Structure 1
Amino acid sequence: MTRITRPLILLAPLLAFLALAYVLPFAGVVGWSVTLPEPGVQNYAAAVTDPLILSVFWRTLRICVIVTVVSVVMGYILSLLWVRGTPLVRMLTELCILIPFWISVLTRAFGWLALLSNRGLINGWLEASGLIDDPLRLVRNEFGVIVGMVHFMIPFAVFPLASAMRNVDERVLMAARGMGASRTRSFWQVFVPMTAAGLMGAALLVFVFAIGFFITPAILGGGRSVMVAELIYLRIFQSPDWGLAAAISVILMVAISALLTLLLKQLSPKGAR
């Protein structure tokens, strides 16, 4: 048994499971996209020409970009506190990062709904304080969707950022300070460029996850800020238009796969490229 065949044999069960669980279902979805309701590529043509579908694509892209930027910026701040803070600050920051993983997505979405709704805690406090006369519209719109998604995505942005920060050579920062650079200048011109790989990885990771979000936009958007995943659900269970839903799914899958490929290339060691 050669060194090549032994790992392949060990990987065979995993590869078989992945083929059964992912490849075959995806092949079925691709088949639906070109056969329902009749053979052809009319579903893909509709997906890229229908104004409603295009508006959903653009809304999804807009929300995902905003969520990515806000999540990465806030994740960068948390990562700084986690990696370079005092022991107490690091412990508290770590709890803030890990505790959200103990709460389900559905629970978090309904928690934000209780906070941001017209009769929620925030509007109730603002009205009781006399700061506003009418409740602010904080949910059932893009703002509520973005808030809920950012809350979910920040921990995912923290891990690649923290990993990049831990790999920063302190001697480089000390050399910059020794050459007269201020803390601010050494941070922006030395520290941030040295964590660029972590920034890129965090941005791609958050963006890829955000594209396929369903539960949070469906609850906090209230059907008024429909994203691609919710559109697929509606086309399957309410229209129904399985062929068009399958075509949209294939387009979404191809886009996510391309972004994941880019992510893996960015995070792979330089010697492996």
Structure 2
Amino acid sequence: MKSIPRYILLLGPLLLFLGLTYVLPFLGVMRWSVTQPDLGFDQYATALSDPLILSVFLRTLRICALVTVFSVIGAYIVTLLWIRGGPVLRLVMELCILIPFWISLLTRAFGWLAMLSNRGILNGWMESIGLINEPLAMVRNEFGVIVGMSHFLLPFAVFPLATAMRNLDERALMAARGMGASRARVFWQVFVPMTGSGILGAALVVFVFALGFFVTPAILGGGRSVMVAELIYLYIFQNPNWGLAAAISVILMLTVGVLMALLMRIANPAGRGNG
């Protein structure tokens, strides 16, 4: 009788924990989606046909797409300075990347609310120098939500980009420079394409995280830019319809699962080729 491999014994408690804390609750949510209030798939039909729910899904996808673009662009600049900058610049960038992880999401959301509100720091400063005559509406709308989410998710996009930049073959850059290409041309036509896997990985990480955001849209959106996670909350606690909330949750989880599978496929091209 063959002995059980050691790695299975080591992973067993972790898999059991994940099954008890994630799989079982999700199966319960799936059961609610087809049993509350009646047995069937009516809640899925409602979730996929109700104009209000569809508008929230579209808003969520739009906000997540914009957050992904801004986060990845900002993370690319930060990562470039971190990986290819001097010692002092690298230290500064490391602090900029790590310090946000020490501050809670709720604290950062209220910080942006204090910064962007009508009587906030930014509006007060612009009025004091005569740049504007009346406060700009930068919260309780999609702008505030996008700013807050991008600020939170930017550090998560740094790590896939850093991996791609560290694994880049410097000989290709030297060859391009040796053939007379300018620095700008080397960057746009050689460096950026060679870090394409990192860009795609960072975009998928940010997009998947953004789909489930609740606190930041609730605080900075002020109920005017409701996203899917907040809609689920409303259907559970304020306008009780647990079956519909469960159906929306399952659709969201399936979307995240598809995106994560795509991320793993991109991150492991060797495995894809062997298949």
Task: Decide whether aligned partners of structure 1 residues 241 and 6 sit closer, same or farther in structure 2, where only a CA change above 3 A counts.
Answer: same
What corresponds to 2:241 in structure 1?
A: 241
Is the deviation greater in 164-173 or in 205-214?
Answer: 164-173
Task: Decide whether aligned partners of structure 1 residues 271 and 260 sit closer, same or farther in structure 2, where only a CA change above 3 A counts.
Answer: closer
Paired with 2:128 and 2:186, the residues of 1 have a C-alpha distance of: 46
What is the TM-score when the length of structure 2 is the normalising length?
0.96
Deviation at residue 248 of structure 1 after TM alignment? 0.2
- Structure 1 position 192 matched with structure 2 position 185: no
Paired with 1:217 and 1:66, the residues of 2 have a C-alpha distance of: 14
3-state SS in 1 of match to 2:240: coil
Deviation at residue 271 of structure 1 after TM alignment? 4.8
What corresponds to 1:173 in structure 2?
A: 173
Paired with 2:112 and 2:84, the residues of 1 have a C-alpha distance of: 31
Which amino acid letter does the alignment assign opposite residue 263 of structure 1? Answer: L
Structure 1, unaligned runs of 5 or more = none
Deviation at residue 183 of structure 1 after TM alignment? 0.9
Deviation at residue 83 of structure 1 after TM alignment? 0.4
3-state SS in 2 of match to 1:155: helix
Paired with 2:10 and 2:103, the residues of 1 have a C-alpha distance of: 35
What corresponds to 1:268 in structure 2?
A: 268
What corresponds to 1:7 in structure 2?
A: 7
Deviation at residue 182 of structure 1 after TM alignment? 1.1
Pairing 1:6-45 to 2, within 5 Å after superposition: 6-45=6-45
Paired with 2:49 and 2:264, the residues of 1 have a C-alpha distance of: 32
1:183-215 Cα offsets, whole Å, 9 max, x none, are 111111111111111001000000000000010
Paired with 2:132 and 2:168, the residues of 1 have a C-alpha distance of: 47
Structure 2, unaligned runs of 5 or more = none
Pairing 1:98-177 to 2, within 5 Å after superposition: 98-177=98-177
Paired with 1:137 and 1:237, the residues of 2 have a C-alpha distance of: 29
Deviation at residue 4 of structure 1 after TM alignment? 6.1
Deviation at residue 104 of structure 1 after TM alignment? 0.3
Task: Decide whether aligned partners of structure 1 residues 184 and 4 sit closer, same or farther in structure 2, where only a CA change above 3 A counts.
Answer: farther
Which amino acid letter does the alignment assign opposite residue 207 of structure 1? Answer: F
1:5-47 Cα offsets, whole Å, 9 max, x none, are 4332332211111111111100000000000011111100010
1:129-169 Cα offsets, whole Å, 9 max, x none, are 22222110000000000000000011001111011101111
3-state SS in 1 of match to 2:139: coil
Is the deviation greater in 123-132 or in 218-227?
Answer: 123-132
Paired with 1:238 and 1:21, the residues of 2 have a C-alpha distance of: 26
What corresponds to 2:210 in structure 1?
A: 210
1:209-260 Cα offsets, whole Å, 9 max, x none, are 0000010000000000000000000100000110000000000000001101
Deviation at residue 269 of structure 1 after TM alignment? 5.1
Paired with 2:87 and 2:135, the residues of 1 have a C-alpha distance of: 41
3-state SS in 2 of match to 1:49: coil
3-state SS in 1 of match to 2:48: helix
What corresponds to 2:228 in structure 1?
A: 228
3-state SS in 1 of match to 2:90: helix
3-state SS in 1 of match to 2:58: helix
- Structure 1 position 59 matched with structure 2 position 59: yes
Paired with 1:58 and 1:157, the residues of 2 have a C-alpha distance of: 23
1:88-119 Cα offsets, whole Å, 9 max, x none, are 11111111111100100000000000000011
Which amino acid letter does the alignment assign opposite residue 29 of structure 1? Answer: V
1:31-70 Cα offsets, whole Å, 9 max, x none, are 0000001111110001010000000000000000000011
What is the TM-score when the length of structure 1 is the normalising length?
0.97
Paired with 1:151 and 1:104, the residues of 2 have a C-alpha distance of: 12
